[in-house]
Amino acid sequence: MRSSLSSLSPIGGEGWVRGRFLAALLVATTILSAAPAPADDPEVPEKYVSVDEAKALVDKRQRVVFIDVREKPQYDDLHIKGAVNIPLDSMRGRLREIPRRELLVLY
């Protein structure tokens, strides 16, 4: 008489594989659903531009607002003519100073 204990063995068998898969799926689903949602996604996705692309915008006389995100001493040493200095660490508190309808280049 054959024992049915082999079907309950934790080593091998189709049921064991299916159980491990379902357990992994449950863990992955729990982790993904618990992840925080991104805060305030930008209305317009960011795009990285090269120096040449930024210069081409200026050469075409397209309205561009340059925002220098470095600290004031670095800005004072050298910056793009007409750029606004808003250091990254103070950006959140100064968002009202940034035009919403203009093309922005942060550097």
Task: Give the total number of structural domains in the chain.
Answer: 2
Range of the domain at 59: 51-106
Q: Which tens digits make up the pLDDT trace of 55-102?
A: 999 999 999 999 999 999 999 999 999 999 999 999 999 999 998 888
In a domain, 77, yes or no: yes
pTM of the entire predicted model:
0.56
Answer whether residue 46 is part of any domain. Answer: no
In a domain, 100, yes or no: yes
Q: What are the tens digits of pLDDT across the range 31-61? A: 655 556 556 655 656 788 899 999 999 999 9
Distances (CA, A) of 86 to 9, 16, 36, 57, 82: 64, 58, 28, 21, 13
Residue 104 or 16, more confident: 104
Residue 72, domain member (yes or no): yes
Evaluate whether residue 58 is within a structural domain.
yes
Is there a single domain that holds both residue 23 and residue 58?
no
